A and B are shown apart, each in its own frame.
Chain A
Amino acid sequence: DIQMTQSPSSLSASVGDRVTITCRASQDIAIYLNWFQQKPGKVPTLLIYDKFTLQRGVPSRFSGSGSGTDFTLTISSLQPEDFATYYCQQTSNIPFTFGPGTKVDLK
């Protein structure tokens, strides 16, 4: 099975900051890397799929990059509604696996 890791596990940031979250796969997953956002008590939402494609309705301050085993989610200018936990997920090989999550909170 493909193992997913994320770093950092948590970070504190201010509104307007540029935030970068890294996700690493234990083997090559090509472009099949997705990013989800989950706010406390809420259902997860898909932000980015297939490495860099923004899901409809997601603000352009979110972007994804990377390839193979190393991927990055960037929030160019953090907004108050972006404080949440972010998960990466690979959909290259079944079983699909999520990373452990990165919690972004207010500094």
Chain B
Amino acid sequence: EVQLAESGGGLIQPGRSLRLSCAASGFNLDDYGMHWVRQAPGKGLEWVSGINWNSATTGYADSVKGRFTISRDNVKNSLYLQMNSLRPEDTALYYCGRDRRYSSSYLGPVDVWGQGTTVIVS
């Protein structure tokens, strides 16, 4: 069964750093692009960052550019999000997601979602 499991969330003070992890199982991570999507309490979905299968393509939302870094370790079947200079407005449920496209240089929509990990910046 294809699964994604996020970890690393928690309560953190403004200005500090946090690293989220996403463990993939049931598929080979290096065949797919991956994403982070977040949802603030009671709000809509916000795409945060994406990375293609070989890390050649990465992208960020303007709201996190320069503060967050996405990375992947295909050997460990894991995705990461390094979050620096955290702000209260970064408070959200952070979802890890698998890109629908198989072995593509381009990124597309998420078709497999984790359950999310909560980050509270306060």
How many A-B residue pairs have C-beta atoms within 8 angstroms? Tell me. Answer: 60
User: B60 to chain A: which residues have CB within 8 Å?
Assistant: 94-95
In B56-109, the 8 Å CB interface with A consists of 59-62, 95, 100, 107-109
Q: Please, how many residues of chain B have a CB less than 8 angstroms from a CB on the other chain?
A: 21
**Min distance, Cβ A45 to any Cβ of chain B, angstroms:** 8
| Secondary structure call for the A interface | loop
| Secondary structure call for the B interface | strand
The answer to whether B44 and A95 have CB atoms under 8 Å apart is no
Closest to A46 in B: B111
User: B110 to chain A: which residues have CB within 8 Å?
Assistant: 44, 46
User: A1 to chain B: which residues have CB within 8 Å?
Assistant: 62
The answer to whether B45 and A43 have CB atoms under 8 Å apart is no
Partner of A95, one of B47, B111, B113: B47
User: B46 to chain A: which residues have CB within 8 Å?
Assistant: 98
The answer to whether B50 and A94 have CB atoms under 8 Å apart is yes
The answer to whether B109 and A98 have CB atoms under 8 Å apart is no
Interface pairs (10), CB distance under 8 Å: A43-B95, A43-B113, A44-B113, A45-B113, A46-B100, A95-B47, A95-B62, A96-B59, A98-B44, A98-B45
Chain B residues proximal to chain A, CB less than 8 Å? 37, 44-47, 50, 59-62, 95, 100, 107-111, 113-116
Chain A residues proximal to chain B, CB less than 8 Å? 1, 32, 34, 36, 38, 43-46, 49-50, 55, 85, 87, 89, 91, 94-101
